[in-house]
Amino acid sequence: MKIQLNNRSEIIENHDRITVNQLLELKKFTYKMLMVRINDSTIKRDEYNNTYIKDGDKVAVIHLMTGG
């Protein structure tokens, strides 16, 4: 499966689709405050296990920072 992950082409071997949580684990995104968008739609954290990324999808994983 080929996707765009943070504006880079990525090939995910041996999968036709993958959940958001599986992608985060596979790519070792461990930061607690993340926002995920698939094809310009924001995915809620409680939907990460039920939302699938498919071939050709455009995925953005954004680290949220706070400060003053």
- Cβ atoms of 58 and 9 within 8 Å: the answer is no
pLDDT per residue over 22-62, tens digit each?
999 999 998 889 999 999 999 999 999 999 999 999 999 99
Residue 49 lies in a domain: yes
pLDDT of residue 57: 98
What's the CATH number where 52 sits?
3.10.20.30
* 50 in a structural domain: yes
Give how many domains the chain has, as a whole number: 1
Coil, strand or helix at 27 = coil
Residue-level pLDDT at 67: 76
Q: Which domain holds residue 18?
A: 2-63
Q: What is the pLDDT of residue 68?
A: 67
Residue 45 has a pLDDT of: 95
Asked if residue 68 is part of any domain, the answer here is: no
The reported pLDDT for the residue numbered 41 is 98
Residues 14-26 have a mean pLDDT of 95
